[in-house]
A and B are shown apart, each in its own frame.
Chain A
Amino acid sequence: MSTEISAQTLTFLRRGRPVTLDNVAPDRTLLEVLREDLHCTGTKEGCGEGDCGACTVVLGEAVDGRLEYRAINSCIRLAHSVEGLAVWTVEDLAGDDGELHPAQEAMVQCHGSQCGFCTPGFVMSLFGMYQNTKGGQGIDRPRAQADLSGNLCRCTGYRPILDAAQQMGDLPLPSGCGVNEAATVAALKALPNKKKEATTYLRPTALTELLQLRTAHPQAQVVAGCTDVGLWVTKMHKRFAQVLDVTAVRELRRVEAYPHHIAIGAAVTLTDAYAALVKERPQLKTFAQRFAGLPVRNSGTLGGNVANGSPIGDSMPLLIGLGASVVLMRWDAKRRAVAHRELLLEDLYTGYRTNVMHPDELLAWIKVPRPTAGEHFKAYKISKRFDDDISAVCLAIRTTVTNGVVLDVSVGAGGVAATPVRARQTEAALRGQSWTADTVMAAVAALRAEFQPISDMRASAAYRQTVLGNLLQRYWLESQGLQHINLDTLNAATLEALA
Chain B
Amino acid sequence: MNARDSNNPATAPVVISSRADAVAPAAEVAEVRPATSVPPASPRAAGVSRFHESARAQVAGGATYIDDIPEVRGTLHAAPVCSNVPHGRLRGMDATAALAVHGVRGVFGASDIPGDPVLAAFAHDEPVFAGETVQFTGQVVAVVVADDVMTARRAARLVKLDIESLPAVLSVHEAHALESYVLPPVHVKRGDAAAALARAPRVLESTFEIGGQEHFYLEGQIAYVLPLEQNQWWVYSSTQHPGEVQHWVSHALGIDNHAVTVECRRMGGGFGGKETQAGHLAVWAAVASRKLQRPVKLRLDRDDDFMVTGKRHPFAYHYRVGFDETGLLCGLDLEMLVNCGFSADLSGPVADRAIFHADNAYFLEDVAISSYRCKTNTQSHTAFRGFGGPQGVIVIERILSDIARELGVDPLDVRLRNLYGIESRNVTHYQMKVEDNILEPLMTTLAGTSGYRQRREQITAWNAQSPVIKKGIALTPVKFGISFTATLFNQAGALVHVYTDGSVQVNHGGTEMGQGLNTKVAAIVADELGIPFERVLSTASDTSKVPNASATAASSGTDLNGRAAQFAARNVRDNLAAFVAGLDLCGAGAVKFEGGQVISPTATRTFEEVVHAAYANRIQLWSDGFYRTPKIHYDKTTLTGRPFYYFAYGAAVTEVAIDTLTGESRVLKVDILHDVGHSINPAIDIGQIEGGFVQGMGWLTTEQLVWNAKGYLATHAPSTYKIPATGDIPEHFKVDLWPEANREDNVHGSKAVGEPPFMLAISVFEALRDAVAQAGGRPQAMNAPGTAEEVLRATSSFAG
Binding site for B on A (CB under 8 A): 1-2, 4, 35, 39-49, 51-52, 54, 89-91, 93-94, 98-100, 102, 104-120, 123, 141, 144-146, 148-149, 151-163, 167, 170-172, 174, 234-235, 237, 293, 382-390, 392, 456-460, 462-463, 466-467, 470-471, 473-474, 477, 482, 484-487, 490-493, 495, 498-499
B730 on the interface (CB 8 Å rule)? yes
Contact string against A for B residues 758-798, beta-carbon threshold 8 Å, 1 for contact and 0 otherwise: 00000000000000000000000000000111001100101
Closest Cβ–Cβ distance, residue A177 to chain B (whole Å): 9
Q: How distant is the Cα of A91 from the Cα of B219 in the complex, in angstroms?
A: 19
B18 on the interface (CB 8 Å rule)? yes
**When the two chains form the complex, which single residue of A89, A112, A167, A237 contacts B157, counting CB atoms closer than 8 Å?**
A237
Contact A145 B269 (CB under 8 A): no
Instruction: Give the segment of B283-291, B530-538, B546-554, B687-695 that binds chain A.
Output: B687-695
Nearest chain-B residue to A151 (Cβ)? Answer: B726
Task: Write out the residue numbers on chain A whose beta carbons fall within 8 Å of the beta carbon of B731.
Answer: 141, 491-493
B408 on the interface (CB 8 Å rule)? no
Contact B792 A42 (CB under 8 A): no
Contact B268 A116 (CB under 8 A): yes
**When the two chains form the complex, which single residue of A51, A115, A119, A120 contacts B717, counting CB atoms closer than 8 Å?**
A51
Q: How distant is the Cα of A69 from the Cα of B49 in the complex, in angstroms?
A: 34
B271 on the interface (CB 8 Å rule)? yes
Contact B52 A114 (CB under 8 A): yes
Contact A44 B58 (CB under 8 A): no
Contact B726 A162 (CB under 8 A): yes
- With A159-B729, A471-B661 known as contacts, the answer to whether A167 contacts B32 (CB < 8 A) is yes
**When the two chains form the complex, which single residue of A2, A123, A484, A495 contacts B151, counting CB atoms closer than 8 Å?**
A2
24 contacts between A and B (CB under 8 A): A43-B61, A89-B61, A109-B31, A113-B58, A114-B514, A114-B691, A116-B52, A117-B65, A144-B726, A154-B269, A154-B695, A157-B690, A157-B693, A158-B726, A171-B34, A234-B301, A384-B722, A384-B788, A386-B725, A457-B708, A460-B800, A463-B798, A482-B468, A498-B462
B575 on the interface (CB 8 Å rule)? no
Interface of B, secondary structure class, is loop
Q: How large is the interface on B (under 10, 10 to 19, 20 to 34, 35 or more residues)?
A: 35 or more
Contact B718 A157 (CB under 8 A): no
Closest Cβ–Cβ distance, residue B49 to chain A (whole Å): 7
Contact B729 A157 (CB under 8 A): yes
Contact B218 A54 (CB under 8 A): yes
Contact string against A for B residues 21-47, beta-carbon threshold 8 Å, 1 for contact and 0 otherwise: 000010001111111000000000000
Q: How distant is the Cα of A104 from the Cα of B57 in the complex, in angstroms?
A: 10
Contact B468 A495 (CB under 8 A): no
Contact B471 A158 (CB under 8 A): no
Contact A484 B469 (CB under 8 A): yes
**When the two chains form the complex, which single residue of A111, A115, A498 contacts B269, counting CB atoms closer than 8 Å?**
A115
Q: A44-B219, A91-B62, A171-B34 are in contact. List 8 more A-B contacts (CB 8 A).
A: A41-B68, A118-B218, A120-B61, A158-B724, A163-B25, A457-B720, A492-B669, A493-B731
Most buried by B among A39, A152, A172: A152
Nearest chain-B residue to A32 (Cβ)? Answer: B150
**When the two chains form the complex, which single residue of B146, B154, B302, B684 contacts A49, counting CB atoms closer than 8 Å?**
B302
Nearest chain-B residue to A234 (Cβ)? Answer: B301
**When the two chains form the complex, which single residue of A46, A114, A499 contacts B462, counting CB atoms closer than 8 Å?**
A499
Q: How distant is the Cα of A54 from the Cα of B58 in the complex, in angstroms?
A: 12
B232 on the interface (CB 8 Å rule)? no
Q: How distant is the Cα of A349 from the Cα of B665 in the complex, in angstroms?
A: 34
A/B pair count, beta carbons within 8 Å? 330
Nearest chain-B residue to A47 (Cβ)? Answer: B302
A-B CB proximity, top 5 nearest:
A42-B61, A115-B514, A117-B268, A116-B58, A157-B694
Task: Write out the residue numbers on chain B whose beta carbons fall within 8 Å of the beta carbon of A47.
Answer: 302, 717-718
Closest Cβ–Cβ distance, residue A32 to chain B (whole Å): 8
Most buried by B among A90, A293, A389, A457: A457
Contact B148 A2 (CB under 8 A): yes
Contact A385 B728 (CB under 8 A): yes
- With A115-B267, A119-B59, A384-B704 known as contacts, the answer to whether A495 contacts B800 (CB < 8 A) is no
B631 on the interface (CB 8 Å rule)? no
Nearest chain-B residue to A382 (Cβ)? Answer: B662
Contact B302 A466 (CB under 8 A): no
- With A51-B719, A144-B726, A382-B662 known as contacts, the answer to whether A237 contacts B792 (CB < 8 A) is no
Contact B59 A100 (CB under 8 A): yes
B513 on the interface (CB 8 Å rule)? yes
B714 on the interface (CB 8 Å rule)? yes
**When the two chains form the complex, which single residue of A40, A102, A111, A146 contacts B61, counting CB atoms closer than 8 Å?**
A40
Task: Write out the residue numbers on chain B whose beta carbons fall within 8 Å of the beta carbon of A492.
Answer: 668-669, 730-732
Contact B218 A117 (CB under 8 A): yes
**When the two chains form the complex, which single residue of B57, B466, B687, B789 contacts A463, counting CB atoms closer than 8 Å?**
B789
Nearest chain-A residue to B58 (Cβ)? Answer: A116
Task: Write out the residue numbers on chain A whose beta carbons fall within 8 Å of the beta carbon of B56.
Answer: 100, 104, 108
Q: How distant is the Cα of A498 from the Cα of B725 in the complex, in angstroms?
A: 27
Task: Write out the residue numbers on chain B whose beta carbons fall within 8 Å of the beta carbon of A102.
Answer: 35
